[in-house]
Amino acid sequence: MTTRTAYDYIITGGGSAGCVLAARLSEDPHVQVLLLEAGGSDRHPLFHMPAGFAKMTKGIGSWGWHTVPQKHMGGRVLRFTQAKVIGGGSSINAQLYTRGNPLDYESWARDGNCGGWGYRDVLPYFKRSEDNQRLVNAYHAYGGPLGVSAPVNPPPICDAYIRAAQEAGVPYNGDFNGAIQAGAGFYQLTTRHARRSSTASAFLKPALGRPNLAVKTDAQVLRIVVEKGRAIGVEVSEAGGRATLLRATREVVVSSGAIGSPKLLLQSGIGPAAHLRAVGVDVVHDLPGVGGNLQDHLDLFVICECTGEHTYDNYAKPHRALWAGIQYVLFKTGPVSSSLFETGGFWFADQAARSPDIQFHLGLGSGIEAGVAKLRNTGVTLNSAFLRPRSRGTVRLASADPRAAPLIDPNYWDDPYDREMSLKGLELAREIMRQKALKPFVQEEILPGPAVTRQEDMIQFAWKNAKTDHHPVGTCKMGTDQMAVVAPDLRVHGLEGLRVCDSSIMPSVVSSNTNGPSIMIGERAADLVRGLPPLPPAPVDIPDQGYGARSAA
């Protein structure tokens, strides 16, 4: 790390968006860029193996945070994995490359008053990042930094799942990121040559040789320093607990994620004044929306026992794990080359919805993620997540100590509609797993289990087993209303020299995984910070996404 103490741009957080931003800003040789990441490097091989995801939700590369007790879920406390490693979520996720529905972005622009963020506006930024293995058309491109590819040699149960979904009324879809999102099929993955394509490896690593880019890991930012209404730098914790001031002559860009970004603003005195005073933080700028508007996808699941070794459960045994490792090292095939969630789809719980509101992920085993039951015999899991929750939660400080874990309250199922749709999605997942196409592979449903049929029992099952889908957003939302934290150009309202750039700026959660959209936000933010004109809008139509049009397909 250089001894320089002043930079043009300081980026706090080297996650999905932060690495993109650092790489793009440092393309200009006339500016000095510093990227600060509280986590460590991604040298461990598990970060680069697609199947390494199974270890990530169990503690590797994460903060180890939990929610507060969820009052609408029987007081349940949920594990809430947030990345603590360079590359952020893109280094520990299941590598599913999904963008959401076109109508998500149309809503941002129309309902959120966020001009320049409609679907036709953001599609060119998705494409700029992309190096797609096989698709090049109005929706896809190749030659960008981010590897996007098809699954490597998925097991036959994946094809059987797609047939079963069709038998249950969900049509086949070969590209969830094309004109139409609804349907069942294979996911595109952020992998290249059977290795994870994180933003650390795809964007940041190629830029590390630039003399104008400095990257510091294991560097926790304690606060943003504001003088006379302008962010002038950050205080960073050094060895021995000493705080060092690093100055930003142009801008500080907060890119610490949907939990970390509001936490940093709050501990810097930027947020709701009453809360800041209550925890002993001096108020620097009263901004009511900071840490509000938290949205997340809650995940329910079906676990079935298989009729044979159709998934990867038995590779947890030492001798099988050794063989899987050899397969991967020599041939880049086998279980280690799998993200373990390669097949899924999007469909409707509410048939009046304008676009799909349920997402499925077929897990090639049981107990893949932390807190999910593992069977003694080979199992398969079908996750079901409700995509458009109406409930809103908060991120708050537990104390004035920057090292204290935040109070994370997604407030799941505060709105009864969310519960109703979640349970409908779970029932649809159960129906898919009962179809004829899966009979050669699936022996019986273990969870929730055939005895769980009444709604009261389903609710109890959900209270005990539900988990986050790791898609928190919205806590520094973009917009122009009183609860907005940033403007559409991502500048923090009421302060100069400060922007936020990550999933926290989403006015509403996209109808999919959030890594791809976070990368897009990094791309769009880079042009905004550099003062470049936006890329020309994509000349695409937005077809009807509703249930009637899709079920007819």
Write out pLDDT tens, residues 17-31.
Answer: 999 999 999 999 999
CB 21 within 8 A of CB 37: no
Q: What is the pLDDT of residues 522-545, one digit of tens each?
A: 999 999 999 999 999 999 999 999
Q: Would you place residue 54 in the very low, low, confident or very high pLDDT band (cuts 50, 70, 90)?
A: confident
CB 473 within 8 A of CB 258: yes
CB 476 within 8 A of CB 504: yes
Type of residue numbered 447? L
225: alpha, beta or left? (left if phi > 0; alpha if psi -120 to 50): beta
pLDDT at 274 over 80: yes
Task: Tell me what pLDDT residue 327 has.
Answer: 83
Q: Evaluate if pTM is beyond 0.95.
A: yes
CB atoms closer than 10 angstroms to residue 8: 17
Active site residue 471: yes
Q: Would you place residue 553 in the very low, low, confident or very high pLDDT band (cuts 50, 70, 90)?
A: low
User: Is the backbone peptide bond immediately before 472 cis, with ω within 30 degrees of 0?
Assistant: no
Going from N- to C-terminal start, the domains of the chain cover: 6-530
Please list, in sequence order, all residues whose beta carbon lies within 8 angstroms of the beta carbon of residue 307, skipping any fewer than 6 positions away: 440, 441, 442, 443
Q: Tell me the C-alpha to C-alpha distance, in Å, between residue 373 and each of 155, 339, 433.
A: 22, 19, 17
Could you tell me which residue, 339 or 430, shows the higher pLDDT?
430
Question: What is the CATH T-level fold of the domain 6-530, as seen in this structure?
Answer: FAD/NAD(P)-binding domain (3.50.50)
Q: Would you place residue 106 in the very low, low, confident or very high pLDDT band (cuts 50, 70, 90)?
A: very high
CB 386 within 8 A of CB 297: yes
CB 86 within 8 A of CB 187: no
Which one from 66, 72, 471, 493 is the annotated catalytic residue?
Answer: 471
Q: Please give the Cα distance from 434 to 428 (Å, whole number).
A: 10
- Mean of per-residue pLDDT scores for the chain: 95
Type of residue numbered 533? P
Q: Tell me the C-alpha to C-alpha distance, in Å, between residue 6 and each of 2, 212, 465.
A: 11, 12, 48
Q: Tell me the C-alpha to C-alpha distance, in Å, between residue 265 and each of 93, 243, 260, 291.
A: 25, 17, 9, 9
pLDDT at 292 over 50: yes
Overall average pLDDT of the 502-507 stretch? 98
Q: Please give the Cα distance from 29 to 13 (Å, whole number).
A: 22
Of the candidates 404, 67, 80, the one whose C-alpha atom is nearest the C-alpha of residue 222 is: 404
Q: Which residues pair with 280 in a beta bridge?
A: none
Q: Would you place residue 371 in the very low, low, confident or very high pLDDT band (cuts 50, 70, 90)?
A: confident
pLDDT at 488 over 90: yes
Q: What is the pLDDT of residues 293-332, one digit of tens each?
A: 999 999 999 999 999 999 998 877 777 777 777 888 877 8
* Assigned token pair, 390: 């109406």
* Assigned token pair, 378: 């080979």
